[in-house]
């Protein structure tokens, strides 16, 4: 399975240390600069992989995947140990890119559904009546102003949001967790990412990060329980 921990192993082993701050630095990569994009992703720290998957989504095209395959074939033809290591890295990268494209498609689908619901609401369409979505993907642009809620977030999206909140301080992180719990976004998938990354950090000897992620998971469960209890009390009062 391709995961952020495995894919970002280059950053974790100390190579390309000048790019370890890519979570804070928004590296600009021109469309079509495939080799630069490959190097950027492979040098991205583990905690930034989900964030970069969202930020670089427009660049993760089928043409980029074809370029990764080309570079993998070139590396394999060398017949060296270094070439084999490069093939392994690029194979993981190709799987990760495919996964990120699928996630982006899910976000785009959610966006189109929200857009349709907003359109129905503004036109007074009865929600019980079947409606055919005639919007094509080309009609939804990234800079179009709409008034619908934020599309449903994947577990990876939520993990990236939590890590970004953590960079702003403990209070910001707790507020984000409480908000997610109230929205019922603390689910098994998010807990799997948190505890999985914690276990990986522990295996790599990074006790500080492991302890932090386990604590975040613990707070998530506690706030989820508090949010559910508050919901139950409201139902009883009604």
pLDDT per position as a tens digit, 112-134: 888 888 888 777 655 444 444 54
How far is it, in rounded angstroms, from Cα 215 to Cα 208?
Answer: 11
Indicate the helix (H) or strand (E) that contains 238.
Answer: none
In angstroms, the Cα distances linking 198 to 98, 207, 238 are 25, 9, 41
Q: Give the C-alpha separation, 112 to 118, whole Å.
A: 10
Give tens-digit pLDDT for 30-44: 666 899 999 988 888
What is the predicted pLDDT for the residue at 136?
47
Phi, psi of 18, rounded to the nearest 5 degrees: -70, -10
The pLDDT value given to residue 233: 66
Nearest alpha-carbon partner for 164 in 43, 3, 40, 26: 26
Lowest-pLDDT range of 11-15, 38-42, 78-82, 202-206? 11-15
Position 1 pLDDT exceeds 50: no
> pTM (2 decimals)?
0.42
Query: Using 50, 70 and 90 to split pLDDT, how confident is the model at 98?
Result: very high
């Amino acid at each position: 399975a391709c995961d952020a921990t495995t894919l970002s192993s280059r950053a974790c082993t100390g190579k390309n240390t000048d790019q370890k701050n890519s979570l804070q630095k928004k590296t600009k990569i021109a469309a079509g600069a495939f080799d630069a994009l490959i190097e950027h992703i492979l040098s991205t720290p583990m905690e930034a992989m989900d964030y970069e998957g969202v930020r670089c989504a427009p660049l993760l095209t089928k043409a980029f995947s074809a370029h990764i395959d080309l570079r993998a074939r070139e590396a394999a033809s060398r017949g060296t140990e270094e070439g084999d290591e490069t093939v392994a890295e690029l194979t993981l990268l190709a799987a990760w890119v495919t996964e990120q494209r699928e996630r982006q498609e899910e976000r785009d689908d959610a966006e189109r559904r929200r857009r349709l619901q907003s359109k129905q609401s503004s036109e007074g369409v009865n929600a019980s009546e079947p409606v055919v979505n005639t919007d094509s993907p080309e009609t939804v642009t990234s800079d179009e102003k709409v008034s619908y809620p934020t599309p449903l977030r994947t577990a990876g999206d939520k993990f990236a949001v939590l890590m970004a909140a953590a960079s702003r301080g403990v209070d910001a992180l707790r507020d984000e967790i409480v908000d997610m719990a109230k929205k019922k976004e603390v689910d098994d998938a998010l807990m799997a990412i948190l505890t999985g990354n914690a276990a990986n950090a522990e295996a790599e000897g990074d006790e500080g990060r492991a302890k932090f992620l386990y604590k975040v998971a613990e707070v998530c469960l506690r706030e989820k329980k508090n949010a559910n209890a508050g919901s139950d009390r409201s139902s009883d009062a009604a």
